[in-house]
């Protein structure tokens, strides 16, 4: 047991606490369908999933986390006692899991998992890296974490600005997380290939029953269990010109609540709908930027194909 594990108290766990330790992890990728997978796995009668998505415990105590993935450290579960409490509802499930897509990108998190979990099973869901980057950009704009006015500007800033490529600047950015091959290569330096199962988001969308069945087989649970075929769970968060106006139309500001009290409800709804339409920004995913990214990712996609034995030609479309 390494120094980190001893300092966290892993050596002091009782047998009952040991029974709460996850047996598998959904490790990524970010903006590739991990929320859908987390929810669908949680519907399997033989699987217990942490009720909190992205606890990030195995990365949380590292000071570099906020530098690489800004904002993630502040929302992560930091204490072993709190982490095990997420699994207090475990009864007789055959597989216990959690989904923290930061783990794929952080070698120290993988080292920690290896140090304390006996032969963990790792599930990675990946998607076309250029489309993933756009989804990441839209999400970052919606949350206020990215200010580049267009996707093209955001990509150019990362590829041509200081520390081009995201990782060189100390963070992943929106482009860096799509270099799956390099991250899977680092993972396979620490785990046996039999411990990793890779699925594609495109396959989950096209054939959820078969894709989920392959995951269930990997986890050694009933592959025929019905868990539903809904594959999108994240609610779309619009990108807006003005957050203050969005709070007003939603009635979450004092002025907005006042408007709803003073104006007849049908009029207030029409006014809010009109303001929301004006306020929402439609972001474009230009074909030329997508092609530029796919050319950038091409060697890494080839590496991923060799490492996993997967045909990734669907990403060249």
Q: Which residue is listed with tokens 């899977």? A: 184
* Tally of CA atoms within 13 A in the half-sphere of 224 that contains its CB: 0
Residue 180 has a CB neighbour count (10 Å cut-off) of: 27
Q: Where are the alpha helices (DSSP H) in the chain?
A: 3-8, 15-18, 34-42, 57-60, 65-68, 80-85, 107-116, 129-143, 151-160, 180-188, 201-206, 208-218, 243-249, 254-262, 265-279, 287-308
Q: What is the predicted pLDDT for the residue at 142?
A: 79
Report the predicted TM-score, pTM, of the whole model to 2 decimal places.
0.83
pLDDT at 260 over 60: yes
**Peptide bond preceding 29 in cis form (omega within 30 of 0):** yes
Q: What is the predicted pLDDT for the residue at 50?
A: 97
- 31: closest CA among 142, 106, 103, 125? 125
Which of 15-19, 79-83, 252-256, 307-311 has the weakest average pLDDT? 252-256
- Reading the block at residue 2, the tokens are 């390494």
């Amino acid at each position: 047991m390494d120094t980190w594990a001893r300092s966290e108290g892993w050596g002091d766990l009782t047998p009952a606490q040991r029974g709460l330790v996850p047996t598998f992890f959904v490790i990524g990728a970010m903006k590739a369908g991990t929320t859908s997978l987390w929810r669908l796995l949680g519907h399997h009668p033989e699987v217990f999933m942490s009720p909190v998505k992205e606890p990030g415990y195995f990365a949380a105590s590292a000071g570099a986390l906020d530098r690489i993935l800004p904002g993630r450290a502040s929302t992560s579960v930091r204490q072993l006692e709190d982490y095990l409490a997420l699994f207090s509802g475990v009864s007789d499930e055959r597989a216990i899991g959690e989904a923290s897509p930061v783990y794929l990108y952080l070698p120290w998190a993988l080292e920690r998992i290896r140090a304390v979990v006996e032969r963990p099973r790792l599930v990675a869901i990946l998607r076309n890296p250029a489309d993933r980057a756009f989804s990441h950009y839209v999400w970052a704009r919606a949350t206020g974490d990215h200010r580049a006015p267009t996707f093209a500007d955001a990509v150019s800033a990362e590829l041509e600005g200081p520390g081009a490529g995201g990782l060189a600047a100390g963070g992943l950015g929106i482009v860096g997380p799509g270099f799956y091959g390099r991250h899977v290569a680092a993972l396979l330096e620490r785990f046996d290939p039999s411990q990793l199962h890779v699925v594609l988001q495109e396959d989950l969308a096209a054939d959820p029953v078969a894709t989920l069945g392959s995951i269930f087989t990997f986890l050694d649970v009933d592959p025929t269990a019905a868990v539903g075929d809904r594959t999108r769970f994240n609610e779309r968060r619009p990108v807006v010109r003005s957050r203050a106006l969005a709070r007003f139309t939603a009635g979450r500001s004092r002025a907005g609540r006042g408007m709803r009290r003073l104006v007849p409800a049908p009029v207030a709804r029409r006014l809010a709908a009109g303001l929301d339409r004006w306020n929402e920004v439609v972001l474009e995913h230009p074909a030329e930027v997508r092609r530029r990214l796919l050319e950038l990712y091409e060697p890494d996609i080839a590496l991923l194909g060799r490492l996993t034995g997967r045909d990734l030609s669907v990403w060249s479309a």
